[in-house]
Amino acid sequence: MSIARITEMTATSTTSFDDAVRQGVARASKTLRNVKGAWVQDYKVVCDDKGEIAEYRVNLKVTFVMEDDN
């Protein structure tokens, strides 16, 4: 039997939402073992003082399978 856990994180990119998701999953995979997937809970942009998009943000829920204690 396997048990999965979900952790939430925010990832950012100056390029795109897609890039933010890719960076978030890549970063999660450095810390968490057995990452199996992620879903985007929320999208957000941050604008600069000229009203231009300066940053793309995604709130992710990352699923990973926990290792057996044995």
What homologous superfamily is domain 4-65 in, according to CATH? Flavin-binding protein dodecin (3.30.1660.10)
Q: For residues 32 and 66, what is the distance between their CA atoms, to the nearest angstrom?
A: 9
**What's the confidence (pLDDT) of residue 70?**
63
**What's the confidence (pLDDT) of residue 57?**
98
Q: For residues 15 and 2, what is the distance between their CA atoms, to the nearest angstrom?
A: 37
> Residue range 2-21: average pLDDT?
96
Band the pLDDT of 2: cuts 50, 70, 90: confident
Residue pLDDT, tens place only, 16-67: 999 999 999 999 999 999 999 999 999 999 999 999 999 999 999 999 998 8
Domain limits, the chain: 4-65
